[in-house]
Structure 1
């Protein structure tokens, strides 16, 4: 009974910290969706330009975001151990990394025409995409610096500011993008460029709001968090990169694998590509739940480990897994029961809907496996296991998801001498293999986590016995 009460209490703590993160992530997601909707009414060229431009932007930003996010488990552990002076050092490391990565990103965006020439798209689309990316040069510094705030705030148990700032930014970005894209109220019609300008204003609004909140909020001053007054030490900088670089590799691998899959699936025709994109969009929305729970669980586990409460850290880790799996099962049931309704929201084309419906049952299993690996890898990073989860995740995405998916889609499993499917499976093969890869990665990560928790608690008992 006591164990059940603790589990419920831990789940409540995770939800309280994770729910605002989920809302904040959804606000960002809908900002991207709104750009596609706006551009969709301006013609195929504008929509294609935003699709190509945003893919390059997301690849750069999400990869760099992973590096900056490396300060999160470190700060959470420092907060739990009440080492507030070290928190300032970690924030300084995050800010320095964000600035350095901004320079690299700006250089990449300036020379994005080289990347665009590799894409087989009409010249007018490439020129529009180049203009779209040129505008994002002005967004990158703010976008990177604000991620430092978004990394350390949940780490110290405060997540509501992230939610409120993102909601405000959303309601600034969307009307501004619509106004500039369509040329309302006397503004010139800028199309995709207008959407990019809206994003620039959004990121700078988020940064200014974050700085103001940190400066004036008593919640930060109480725990001694101030703006860094000196450069970070080399040890803190190295520790941040040791956590952040594997996270960045995971982010880049995920984006890269989905891009490759989209290119492979494109050969099956426009309807199949559309069906694939719809399923990918739906699963990405559901993925926001385990992502938020993973961030919250990671923060709470790190805090308790920093405080030396290893048994509590174990309880929170298990509660995070149970909660994530439970909600993922509910999401899977939704996909299986009312999935067709969701598909009709995305498209009125019956052929596209029917093709997407073939993947719905597979997407339910895909989401379950993806949710488990997401929260498990986040918890492992709280236990300072950074490299191994990344290796398993990359292998699952590329080795099994892309590699085996290509075999299943083009040759079936007759090539593997299993004789379960005599014909090539088409784009369904990629989803089956991706699900299998995530399942294998989840199992391996769960075994790693169980061993790490067991070792952690055992070490705690040994140190306690020795001190007595």
Structure 2
């Protein structure tokens, strides 16, 4: 099987599963929007905070993919199982950090000046999602393991099945019925909690029963913490997780700063951000598949094949991003109307979606780069680039243009300011990452 076919098949399988998970957010956005504009605005703020926390912690665990893929490529199967068990200690620490952040969001809400009328609903929403965080991170570990072994199909089936449960639960819990009081955005969070625990239970059952995992001896007695190994995981995972956190918070903190512009601005931004997140699933899936194959060949001692895989991944991701951006530009009015019925929200969201199309082109390239850079243990440089460009130029620049004005330009008082500066910042980020990856692939080899 050629590398193109291998990557395409792996990426397509991951994409289907990721889209099923993203449909969680799409479902909640549509349900909350149909429930009320206020519920949609509360969901926009609450989901921004949750995504910022979850994706950062998820990034720590996702960064272990090249470790397990290299061991798989080197055919050190038993070490895969031991490595997975040791990573449970790191996962426990990430869960503790995440719970603290989600259960006490008050200071962040006040700092970003989220309207007081929304704060109570947002806090209730996050309190429920705090309970859903542990199974979500543990399931992400299971997903990362399967991706590192180039066997993502079982995860995808679980994600598709969970969507079939999530949709009716979100509708029921939000609107009420059959003895249940309407709960709006908080009801969507309760639906997520139920689905997350169900997915984790099925994942553990498959890990215990499927012959696929037998060579790796995963289901063994948990050893005592191997602190040098856990520290090695942390050196790889924490910068990677922080980099993803900066990337995502530069995206999600927009929702908190935009909230002060009012309900229409928040609701329109939620539509744009939700669409950007859905589109991101395609380059993300390709990046996961590409990085798994790159690490596999590096573990097998063939860096030339690894570089060939990188070139194949770039061709796929650029082609898909160009097609997606073009379709979004053509159909942005119709897509905005799917999410909301308010004509003012639809008009503003449609304008934002044009910027989302530009944003996506750069997002696709940088996503592939940052995943493959982890294969070469390059994690600190992406973090620094993200901090300077995405937080500096993108988020801070958007704030200046939106609320204070800059270089004689009066304050725009619109979400468009944030999307425009973020698109420019992400384009520069992509160019820098390409240069870093080119050097890393030629000069560096990962540690065995």
TM-score (norm 2): 0.89
Give 1:203 deviation, angstroms.
1.0
Matches within 5 A, 1:53-202: 53-113=46-106, 115-116=108-109, 120-122=114-116, 125-202=118-195
Q: Choose from 413, 430, 437 the match for 2:425.
A: 437
Deviation at 1:219, TM superposition (A): 1.1
* CA deviation map 1:73-119 (0-9, x unaligned): 11111111112232123212321112222233334444345555555
For residues 134 and 410 of structure 1, the distance between their equivalents in structure 2, rounded to whole angstroms, comes to: 31
Q: Which has the higher contact order (CA 8 A, sep 6+)?
A: 2
Structure 1 residue 31: Cα displacement: 1.3
Counting only pairs closer than 5 Å after superposition, residues 420-435 of structure 1 correspond to structure 2 as: 427-435=415-423
**Equivalents in 1 of 2:182, 2:76: separation in Å?**
53
Specify whether residues 221 and 184 from structure 1 end up closer, same or farther in structure 2 by C-alpha distance, changes over 3 A only: same
CA pair 439-377 structure 1, distance change in 2 beyond 3 A? same
1:318 aligns with 2:306: no
Q: Which moved more, 1:74-83 or 1:126-135?
A: 126-135
Separation of aligned partners in 1, 2:201 and 2:233: 24
Closer/same/farther in 2, CA of residues 436 and 138 from structure 1, 3 Å limit: closer
Work out whether residues 24 and 167 of structure 2, in 8 Å CA contact, stay in contact via their aligned partners in 1.
yes
1:367 aligns with 2:360: yes
> Residue 16 and residue 184 in structure 1: after superposition, are their counterparts in 2 closer, same or farther (change >3 A)?
same
> Do the aligned partners of 1:106 and 1:137 also contact (CA within 8 Å) in 2?
yes
Question: Which protein is bigger by CA-based radius of gyration?
Answer: 1
Change over 3 Å in CA distance of 1:228–1:63 after alignment to 2: farther
Q: Tell me if structure 2 keeps the 8 A contact 1:89–1:236.
A: no
Give, in angstroms, the shift of residue 32 of structure 1.
2.3
Higher mean C-alpha displacement, 53-62 vs 81-90: 53-62
Compared with structure 1, are the counterparts of its residues 360 and 34 closer, same or farther at alpha carbon in structure 2 (3 Å cutoff)? closer
Report what 1:453 is aligned to. 441
How far residue 55 of structure 1 moved from its aligned partner, in angstroms, is 3.1
* 2:202 aligned to which of 204, 209, 212: 209
> Does the C-alpha gap of structure 1 residues 362 and 113 become closer, same or farther in structure 2, counting only changes over 3 Å?
closer
In the alignment, the residues of structure 1 paired with residue 36 and residue 418 of structure 2 have an alpha-carbon distance, to the nearest angstrom, of: 31
Q: Deviations over 1:370-405 (max 9, x none)?
A: 100000111111111111112112222112212333
**Bigger mean CA deviation after superposition, 192-201 or 297-306:** 192-201
Distance 1:336 1:233, change over 3 A: same
Deviation of 1:263 after TM superposition, in Å, equals 4.3
The change in CA–CA distance for 1:318 and 1:204 in structure 2 (over 3 A counts) is same
Q: Check whether the contact 1:310–1:456 (CA below 8 A) recurs between aligned residues.
A: no
Q: Distance in 2 between matches of 1:451 and 1:298?
A: 16
Q: RMSD of the TM alignment (CA)? A: 2.8
User: Which moved further from structure 2: 27-36 or 367-376?
Assistant: 27-36
Deviations 1:409-434 (A, max 9, x none): 5677746xxxxxx6666644433322
**2:392 matched residue in structure 1:** 399
Deviations 1:210-244 (A, max 9, x none): 11111111111145443453135223211211121
Counterpart contact for 1:92–1:232, Cα < 8 Å: no
Identify the residue that residue 289 of structure 1 maps to in structure 2. Answer: 282
Deviates more, 1:300-309 or 1:360-369: 360-369
Partners of 1:90 and 1:232 within 8 A in 2: no
Farther-moved stretch of structure 1 (138-147 vs 262-271)? 262-271
Alpha-carbon separation, structure 1, partners of 2:104 and 2:197? 23
Q: Give me the whole-angstrom Cα distance separating, in 1, the residues matched to 2:444 and 2:333.
A: 46
| Aligned counterparts of 2:229 and 2:400: Cα–Cα separation in 1 | 44
Structure 1 CA distance, aligned partners of 2:187 and 2:393? Answer: 40
Q: Secondary structure at the match of 1:186?
A: coil
Q: Distance in 2 between matches of 1:221 and 1:296?
A: 23
**Structure 2 CA distance for aligned equivalents of residues 39 and 374 of structure 1:** 30
Q: Is the 8 A contact 1:301 1:382 kept in 2?
A: yes
Aligned length: 444
TM-score (norm 1): 0.85
What 5-or-longer segments of structure 1 have no aligned partner?
A: 1-5, 416-421, 460-468
Task: Describe the shift of the 1:87–1:121 C-alpha distance in structure 2 as closer, same or farther (beyond 3 A).
Answer: same
Structure 2 partner of 1:462: none
